[in-house]
Amino acid sequence: MTDLTNPAIDRDPSAREKLGHDVFARGVTPAGVLRPTSIEALSAGIRAAAKQGLAIVPRGGGMSYTGGYVADRDDALVIDMAGMNRILAINQTDMTVTVEAGCTWSALYEALHPQGLRTPLWGTLSGIKAAIGGGASQNGTFWGARNGTIADSVLSYRVVLADGAVMDTGKSFFRGFGPDLTGLFGGDCGALAVKAHVTLPLIREAEAFAYGSFAFDTPADYCAAMSEIARCGLAMESFGFDPFLQAQRMRRDSLAADAKSLVTMMKAQGGFWRAIKEGAKVVTAGRSFLDEAKFSIHCLAEARTRAAADEDMRRIAAIVAANNGREVENTIPKVLRANPFPPVNSMVGPDGGRWLPVHGIVPHSRALQTIEALVALFEANEAEMERLAIGAGYMFLTVGATGFLIEPCFYWPDELWGLHTESVESAHLAKLNRYPPNPEARALVERLRKGVIDVISALDGVHFQIGRTYPLEQRSDPRAWRLLKALKAELDPQGLMNPGVLGL
């Protein structure tokens, strides 16, 4: 019989109900919520929960949509890491920073940026809410994507194991020391332990930036250019959209807000008049400049000197020209860099309704083939998608020199849940339509998501955010899978750590 009498556990039904779903998946309402504010409280809470046989489900910012923190049994204790959000040490001598795992990317940026510092991978676009521990646990990328993924850039973790014991996965200043135990915990979605502290390397912020936006008519030219820019390592971030997603972005964001954040950034990067001029340019260019474009790439180059940043952008433009692309107004990358962690309003559709991304990372040699297979999938379902008003568009991003990330996003009219209404800005929410529950459309979106995953699997692509959604076992070498199961059994013999996640 489960005992939940620990006074530190919140059993309030509405608090628990809120944690029964993520951005897309709905699971079982957990039995309780623990909100530790220190590693000692986290360790004591896990030890007590393990004695009671409770499942332990860690939650960071709650910004995921693959069922990673959505329990499938009712005796689960959600560990809400939001209260462990301190920056513990910024060490400018050793160039490391240690944070509690619930610290958001945005809070870390606010602390490091004034000191001219950042981490190599410095956050996801959800970073105003998403936590560093959540990002490391399901892996991901965006800001600093040329440097790879979040899990790649961690130096070490201090974790709490299923029996409450505390363990360091390595040394805090250097990751390479024998077999890579830190790497084992990256992307584990909380199946192996709860991350309490995360240590990341620091690097100096760049001093000069250059921005470029480019348009292409065909996916073949688009992929060729995007891949070559990544292979040459010319952009710190290189991302893009297809026309559908481009249109959704344009509809969502307000032009005035664009101009304002841009002025703030330009002021920070020096020059009041340049700031005013750039702000005015955004307003004049409006959001029509990409209307005719079929596919867009947005690049941000950074360097120590203006000449070096401009030279990288000149080389990017040459790659674009060699692949039949054309330069367009570079508003999007400028605006995004000016406000790197915007409110998470894109968690819902631009007119209300729902949003669900699904993604795969493929090698450059298979990017075009993947896009063509996805287009065929959507064409085969076109009539049903149209009947149920389901829209689909693509986001693209290169990761390091080797990864081409393709992310179809679905939009459809459907009810919003508590997480959506709490996370989206209230002024934005007030402007949106509200829809009744739409289980028929949601079911088709689930089938389409499965179809996308099958396409990516057939092309041997990989995924972040495995959660309870992407099939890891079927895609792993059987020996590697047995090793992972053995590791899980060693670390969590009772199978209490986020059971079911990763398929474990």
Q: Using CB under 6 A, list all residues that contact ligand FAD.
A: 23, 57-64, 68-69, 81, 101, 124-126, 130-131, 133-135, 137-138, 140-142, 189-190, 194-195, 344, 346-347, 464-465, 467, 498, 501
Distance CA 240, CA 243 (A): 10
Distance CA 312, CA 206 (A): 14
Least distance (Å) from ligand FAD to the CB of residue 261?
Answer: 17
Least distance (Å) from ligand FAD to the CB of residue 203?
Answer: 19
Least distance (Å) from ligand FAD to the CB of residue 240?
Answer: 14
Question: Which lies closer to ligand FAD via its Cβ, residue 133 or residue 279?
Answer: 133
Least distance (Å) from ligand FAD to the CB of residue 174?
Answer: 22
Least distance (Å) from ligand FAD to the CB of residue 144?
Answer: 11
Distance CA 434, CA 351 (A): 9
Structure tokens at 473: 């076992």
Angle at 150 between CA 357 and CA 451, to 5 degrees: 25
Question: Which lies closer to ligand FAD via its Cβ, residue 125 or residue 491?
Answer: 125
* Cα–chain center distance at 191: 19
Question: Which lies closer to ligand FAD via its Cβ, residue 234 or residue 466?
Answer: 466
Instruction: Decide if 158 contacts 167 (C-beta within 8 A).
Output: yes
Distance CA 449, CA 268 (A): 41
State the Cα torsion 216-221-223-228 to the nearest 10°: -110
Least distance (Å) from ligand FAD to the CB of residue 145?
Answer: 9
Instruction: Decide if 304 contacts 208 (C-beta within 8 A).
Output: yes
Question: Which lies closer to ligand FAD via its Cβ, residue 451 or residue 500?
Answer: 500
Question: Which lies closer to ligand FAD via its Cβ, residue 150 or residue 293?
Answer: 150
Angle at 28 between CA 27 and CA 33, to 5 degrees: 110
Question: Which lies closer to ligand FAD via its Cβ, residue 19 or residue 263?
Answer: 19
The closest residue (CB) to ligand FAD is 134
Structure tokens at 300: 């941000």
Hey, which bits of 383-445 come out as E strands? 391-399, 403-412
Question: Which lies closer to ligand FAD via its Cβ, residue 289 or residue 412?
Answer: 412
Least distance (Å) from ligand FAD to the CB of residue 304?
Answer: 26
